[in-house]
Amino acid sequence: MDAQLPSAATHDQPGEVDERWSTALTAIAPNSVMVRGYHLDELMGRLSFPDAVYLLLMGELPTRTIGRMLDAILVSVIDHGVTPPSTLAARNVAASGAPLKDAVAAGILGFGPYHGGDIESCMRFLDQGLSLIRGGWTWANAAQKLVDDWAHANTAPPPGFGHRLHTQDPRAPRLFQLAMELELEGEHVRMLRALERALNERHAHFGRLLPANVDGAIAAISADLGFSYELGNAIFLISRLPGLIAHAHEERMRQEPMRRIDPKDHVYDGSRERRLPEGRK
Amino acid sequence: MDAQLPSAATHDQPGEVDERWSTALTAIAPNSVMVRGYHLDELMGRLSFPDAVYLLLMGELPTRTIGRMLDAILVSVIDHGVTPPSTLAARNVAASGAPLKDAVAAGILGFGPYHGGDIESCMRFLDQGLSLIRGGWTWANAAQKLVDDWAHANTAPPPGFGHRLHTQDPRAPRLFQLAMELELEGEHVRMLRALERALNERHAHFGRLLPANVDGAIAAISADLGFSYELGNAIFLISRLPGLIAHAHEERMRQEPMRRIDPKDHVYDGSRERRLPEGRK
Amino acid sequence: MDAQLPSAATHDQPGEVDERWSTALTAIAPNSVMVRGYHLDELMGRLSFPDAVYLLLMGELPTRTIGRMLDAILVSVIDHGVTPPSTLAARNVAASGAPLKDAVAAGILGFGPYHGGDIESCMRFLDQGLSLIRGGWTWANAAQKLVDDWAHANTAPPPGFGHRLHTQDPRAPRLFQLAMELELEGEHVRMLRALERALNERHAHFGRLLPANVDGAIAAISADLGFSYELGNAIFLISRLPGLIAHAHEERMRQEPMRRIDPKDHVYDGSRERRLPEGRK
Amino acid sequence: MDAQLPSAATHDQPGEVDERWSTALTAIAPNSVMVRGYHLDELMGRLSFPDAVYLLLMGELPTRTIGRMLDAILVSVIDHGVTPPSTLAARNVAASGAPLKDAVAAGILGFGPYHGGDIESCMRFLDQGLSLIRGGWTWANAAQKLVDDWAHANTAPPPGFGHRLHTQDPRAPRLFQLAMELELEGEHVRMLRALERALNERHAHFGRLLPANVDGAIAAISADLGFSYELGNAIFLISRLPGLIAHAHEERMRQEPMRRIDPKDHVYDGSRERRLPEGRK
């Protein structure tokens, strides 16, 4: 077919190598959309959105347990109130009357190394430990070494541990519990646990206990599921997008344009505390 | 508690009204994150991500059927290959070596009125028809009037109908089928169907048949589920984000930095066509 | 030369029209960069940056007086302190540790209809008045009609008039003075003046006097210089970009990451009030 | 005055340190805008935009020669045609019908390490050399060492040298000429020159000569003017913004929405080559 031939001769940079470039994600043809080889209309109603996310990013269908784990991870950081910088960036943009997508894009830009990006840093930190293990260290010694080196250079906690607000981030133990129940714990979770213990022994240095936070749990579990650094961070983006949307939308619906948003000066006036109905447990 | 008192006296704009502002989305307290009144750690592993999205955006748990419908909608537009402007914006940013989130933010900015934003326009178009119905018009006459008015001013199709590539967008009928099976069809779907028939009769004007496309199906169904215009568009954002991520990631993994991306000059080299295994149907 | 031939045969959408597309901005060839026909290296050191901006956007060199006017406009809104939503979006993104350009992009997204975008709205408002003039109305009657119509529908001021902080925005009269001295006042400035007078007479309706603000002055003057609506807004972007950069940079240099930024709770600790040295006047 | 008192008691995070935060950029008060201590209305018409940029970013008025140098630098990279990834990101976003500022923000996100960000990398590279000088190395030996180390690890040229299109980037020599005429050359320019010579001797390794490009010239000169790494990059942003605007605007004015933009398949149809009129030289 003509379309498969290289087209070098027709371009305006003489001598440029111009072979067709390739994509392995989605094949589009008239009346057909195939994602990783599956017809999208076949997937709809049969594959859950988290399963489809896994398929698109990783190239294959997840197992049932991996699909359930990813689903829970996506729920775990769907929102964290008004104070993260990403949320405040989104709300400030919304306050100017800009469209929703602009507020959301600004929010995504507000995922920096200190927020969101922490997942990647934690994955790299865990891999440093695992490299020691492969070099023959014990888990305890490897963790001790990482924590010592970190503490030597920093008073701030290492990525994935501690939280500026929560002394025990409630989302992390729940993710670990699910990983255990679904039999998905691997070496990254084990390293995170070892680091947690080593940090406990150094809590005087950091001025407080530093249990793993939700970023640490997502980092360890998603590394065990085979996600790369970059895609580990991407999971956070997918999960938090609805949160950014909800805040930008609420800003526009409930607040005056151009107000100056004080992140500290707010109250919660939403639904009272409630429990899932029996049928949803 | 002190924290509940207005803090007007301490701010630097004399005379400014300074009451606390309110948010109804998520309540954060030490060791507690509650979304719409539910503890996030209780939701994890029990509520699917699409259900949690619905809860966060709409304020209440969805019914089982609404949750399944939203799940299918989120799968329906998860990716559409390399050619949409949003995907190309994301790939071009990735080609500069910029971080993934920058590529993704640029992609989101590429959802303009002609792409993504079409969902909102279609919802508004359907509501124009429904307003005629409330004024006593028959469905056929209301649809006829809308199509006549549109055709008088435009040769391009109305929002939600036709597709530059697909003569029959395969995703739309599948969404309608699910809406019917889940007994979720409402007046917006009915209006879309009436418009489809009226457009058929005018196909000479537009030069081709204009069946509802996936944007039209999402617009009609999500309006029937109670989503506002702005949140209708937001569904598209949530669904497509993994697509933007996958393309930006693939660009970085497989291509040279700074290449000049020709959207037409590519081939698909991914998985061959395949079907869901029996257990997933 | 081969490169000039249409390349339709090599693309993958059969039947697609594939003519070369055109750009009139900048011609790039090996060892040559020409902007609007001028060699960039010839312009450097000979044309001021505002003159080059005009050349690039409008296609021709500005006259000396137009160049000076544009220069003053670009200075006029270079910064407005920490409270505009664009600045807060930029600072919040910077607080996450994200790169400078991410903070700046978020800031640009924070130019919505209520902020920055006001220049376009005011240009459109002025043109409504000018259209009445062309229909034979007197300046006073046209202005009266616009103000009456506006006041009928709104209690907020029309675009380009009044300021939430300044009762007399000091930047507007200075721009008008320069436009007068440079003999660049045209019908848009005249219309703005007529509207200012008509608004004075209605000040009871709005609860205060509404002199033209800097957005109004930029709108009227840049319309008189021949800028389109979209490019009128763009002038604001070019001018404010250094402000966004300065705030993002200051945030990173002087503040802790992840702080929650209260826009009201700040003090200025920069240089004391000072005057330009004699030689710069 | 009450407004100067700390407001710790009124905020909702008990025990949080809550002192007022400071900014040294711009002081806003009713009817007064002061940038770095100067009334903005006094600056307008008296200080050029590049001088105002310098004042805002660096805190003091530039000398006449520094102001002229910065002006020329801002002109030097105002546009580089349709092919840079930033420009293509902006055009693709514009093609979706999104507003101009969205296209521009996407363009800014497309300044990655390989494009725009090169200025910072080059500044850091030069500083590595200067640190050898301070350690007693000769200029030639320091340059030799940097080039050897670089060549050992890379076949791509070091930041600031060579250009994918220009064998001799015409903008670099013009900037160096101006820096010499204005007597602003400093140690960074000297180091860049030494590196250029050392690279010449290694041209076989890189397969071509690698004279300094415009990024290298901006990096060296702006470092000599005292700009930090981050602000060196920012100069590029300020300069290129009008280019992004011009391309987004042209895309919308001249092209069909939703077209698929092939960066290679274009022609220039703008003004013929021309020279500055006598009076502008």
Check if A103 contacts C (Cβ < 8 Å).
yes
Q: Which of residues 104-143 of B touch D (CB under 8 A)?
A: 105-106, 109-117
Distance (Å) from the C-alpha of residue D11 to the closest C-alpha of chain A?
Answer: 6
Lowest mean pLDDT among C12-26, D102-116, D119-133, D234-248: C12-26
CB-nearest to C11 from B13, B101, B264 is: B264
CB contact under 8 A, D83 and B260: yes
User: Residue A281 has what pLDDT?
Assistant: 67
Return the DSSP state at A279: G
Query: Rounded to the nearest 5 degrees, what angle is found at the Cα of A205, between the Cα atoms of A203 and A209?
Result: 25
User: Residue A115 has what pLDDT?
Assistant: 85
Between B281 and D48, the higher pLDDT residue: D48
CB contact under 8 A, A265 and D11: yes
Say what the pTM is: 0.91
Residue A27: both structure tokens together: 């094949």
CB contact under 8 A, C81 and D25: yes
In the predicted model, what is the mean pLDDT of chain D?
91
In the predicted model, what is the mean pLDDT of chain A?
91
Tens of pLDDT, residues A233-279: 999 999 999 999 999 999 999 999 999 999 988 999 999 999 999 88
Distance (Å) from the C-alpha of residue B19 to the closest C-alpha of chain D?
Answer: 12
B20 pLDDT band, cuts 50/70/90, is very high
Tens of pLDDT, residues B123-132: 999 999 999 9
**Which chain C residue is nearest to residue D107, measuring alpha carbons?**
C105
CB contact under 8 A, B113 and D106: no
Q: Which residues does D115 contact at the CB level (< 8 Å), separation at least 6?
A: B96, B97, B258, D84, D85, D86
Q: Report in angstroms the alpha-carbon separations of B55 from A202, B158, B220, B228, C277.
A: 41, 32, 20, 14, 62
Question: Is pLDDT above 70 for B174?
Answer: yes
- List chain C residues with CB under 8 Å of D170: 31-33, 39-41
Question: Is pLDDT above 50 for D179?
Answer: yes
Under-70 pLDDT residues of chain C: 1-18, 281
B281 pLDDT band, cuts 50/70/90, is low
Question: Is pLDDT above 80 for D82?
Answer: yes
Residue whose C-alpha is closest to residue D71's, from D94, D48, D44? D48
Chains that touch C (3 or more CB pairs under 8 A): A, B, D
Chains that touch B (3 or more CB pairs under 8 A): A, C, D
Kind plus residue range of the DSSP H or E element containing A268: strand A266-268
Q: Which of residues 6-25 of A touch C (CB under 8 A)?
A: 7, 9-12, 14
Under-50 pLDDT residues of chain A: 1-16, 18
- List chain D residues with CB under 8 Å of A101: 102
Which of D18, D35, D56, D75 is the best substitution to test chain C (most C C-beta atoms within 10 A)?
A: D75
Check if D261 contacts C (Cβ < 8 Å).
yes
CB contact under 8 A, D93 and B113: no
D281 pLDDT band, cuts 50/70/90, is low
- List chain C residues with CB under 8 Å of A115: 96-97, 258
Mean pLDDT of B96-115: 93
User: Residue A210 has what pLDDT?
Assistant: 94
Percent residues over pLDDT 70 in chain D:
93
**Spatial separation of the C-alpha atoms in residues A262 and A109, rounded to whole Å:** 20
- List chain D residues with CB under 8 Å of A265: 10-12
CB contact under 8 A, A164 and C258: yes
Distance (Å) from the C-alpha of residue B186 to the closest C-alpha of chain D?
Answer: 30
- List chain A residues with CB under 8 Å of B101: 108-109, 111, 116, 233, 237
**Spatial separation of the C-alpha atoms in residues D157 and D151, rounded to whole Å:** 8
- List chain D residues with CB under 8 Å of C168: 31
User: Residue C191 has what pLDDT?
Assistant: 98
D7 pLDDT band, cuts 50/70/90, is very low
Which of D102, D167, D267 is the best substitution to test chain A (most A C-beta atoms within 10 A)?
A: D102
The answer to whether D8 touches B15, Cβ cutoff 8 Å, is no
- List chain D residues with CB under 8 Å of A99: 99
CB contact under 8 A, A280 and B56: no
Q: Which of residues 83-102 of D touch A (CB under 8 A)?
A: 99, 101-102
Residue whose C-alpha is closest to residue D264's, from C36, B267, B259, C35? B259
Kind plus residue range of the DSSP H or E element containing B267: strand B266-268
In this prediction the ipTM stands at 0.93
Lowest mean pLDDT among B45-59, D119-133, D153-167: D153-167
User: Residue C14 has what pLDDT?
Assistant: 39
Q: Read off the amino acid at residue D173.
A: P
Residue C195: both structure tokens together: 């509207």
Tens of pLDDT, residues B152-166: 999 889 999 999 889
